[in-house]
Each structure stands twice: as C-alpha cells, then as structure tokens.
Chain A
Amino acid sequence: EVQLLESGGGLVQPGGSLRLSCAASGFTFSSYAMSWVRQALGKGLEWVSSISASGTSTYYADSVKGRFTISRDKSKNTVYLQMNSLRAEDTAVYYCAKLTAWYGDTGTYFDYWGQGTLLTVSS
C-alpha cells in the first residue's frame, strides 16, 4: 500500500524558513518523480514543485521559484521542500504527491497523495 506521510508544517513569521518532509513507502521510491501541491484553506489546488526520480531535474511554479527548493533522499525514501522568504500567501496545506513516471515534467499525473501538513505564515 502506497503511503505518503508529510511533516514539518507549523507557524512561521513572514520572511522565515521551514522545511517540509514527506516519507514514502509501499512503492519503489527511486523509480518515481514526486511533487508538492498546496491548497489554501477553502481554496483550490496549486502545483508547487516536482522532482524527477533521480533528483537531477526539478521544476517550480513561478510563485515559489527562487524561494523554495525541492530535494529527495533515496536512502530515507523522503522528499523535502525547503521554503525560504515565506509570505502570508504561502499559507496552505501542503500535500506530497507521487507522480506516475520517473520524469517530473508534463505527461504524468498524481496517483497518490499524502494527508497534508499545514503551513501558516503570520506574525
């Protein structure tokens, strides 16, 4: 059974940093690209970032480019999202999602999602 367990959310002041983690199990982690998708409370879904299976290719939404960094550790079956220069508009539930192929670019969709972790950016 595929499981994705996010952690690391919390309350951060504007301008601050935080790192989210997503521990994966139930599939061959090193064979699939992974993503982060966020959802502001009561709002729709917004793709944030993706990383290829090997970790060599990364992709970002314009809204987070230059501030967020996605990475993965195959020894821990974990994907991370390092978030810097946080803004109030980054407040959302962040979901980790598994893609259906090794590449993280177009042509692949999200087949499994974690339960999410809440980030609140506020002073």
Chain B
Amino acid sequence: EIVLTQSPGTLPLSPGERATLFCRASQSVSSSYLAWYQQKPGQAPRLLIYGASSRATGIPDRFSGSGSGTDFTLTISRLEPEDFAVYFCQQYGSSPYTFGQGTKLEIK
C-alpha cells in the first residue's frame, strides 16, 4: 500500500501568514489522485482539494494544492483564524485508500 508522510507534524503560525504543508508518497500516486481534508476538533473531515490541485465546492481561493508523482503541497496563502486545524492528505489512485498522519496547524 502507498504510505503518505506529512510534514511538519505541527506548524505554528500567526493569522495572516502563509502556510505550506507537505505530503510525500512512498510511491507515485497515479493520475495525481490526491486529496486534502481539513478537520477541526470534534468535527468530521472536510474536503478541500482533489486531483492534487482542484478546489472543492465552496473552498476559498486562499487554499491551493500542487504537486505530482510522490510530492504534494497544500498552501494557505493568508491564514484566517478559522484555518487552524488538522490537515490530512489522502491518495485514491491505488487500493487501499490511505491517509497521511496529519499536520496540525496551530496558532503561534
């Protein structure tokens, strides 16, 4: 199975700053079938990005995804207070679906 490794584990930043989160796959993710989800405490995950770079419906344009092959990035251009949460990447190009362990974006 494809193992996804996210870095950093924790990212302390301030509102207004730029956040860059990384997701590395143990083998190439076919067709850039990679998604990003946001999860806040006590809530279900919310889809942000699919196909490595396509924003889901209703997601602000400060969120962007990039990458291909084994290396993917989620960028939040200017952090809003509501963006502090845990972010997971997930590959859906190979069975079984797998998730990264998450990056916690916290307020510095």
Contact = CB atoms under 8 A, between A and B. Distances in A.
A111 B100 contact: no
Contact of A107 (B31, B56, B90): B31
Contacts, number: 57
Interface of B: 30-31, 33, 35, 37, 43-47, 50, 56, 88, 90, 92-102
A98 to B, nearest CB: 10
Contacts of A44: 88, 99-102
Contacts of B50: 100, 109, 111
Interface residues on A, range: 20 to 34
A115 B95 CA distance: 25
B46 A113 contact: yes
A47 interface: yes
Contact of B43 (A61, A105, A106, A115): A115
A109 B88 contact: no
Contacts of A108: 92
Given A45-B99, A109-B50, 19 more contacts: A44-B88, A44-B102, A45-B45, A47-B96, A47-B97, A47-B99, A59-B95, A95-B44, A100-B50, A106-B94, A106-B97, A107-B92, A109-B90, A110-B47, A111-B47, A112-B47, A113-B46, A114-B44, A115-B44
* Interchain residue pairs A-B with the least CB separation, the first 9: A113-B44, A47-B97, A45-B99, A109-B35, A109-B92, A44-B101, A109-B50, A111-B47, A115-B44
A107 B44 contact: no
Interface string A37-81: 000000011110000000000010110000000000000000000
Nearest to A111: B47
Nearest to B35: A109
11 contacts: A45-B90, A62-B96, A95-B45, A109-B33, A109-B50, A111-B47, A111-B50, A112-B47, A113-B45, A113-B46, A116-B44
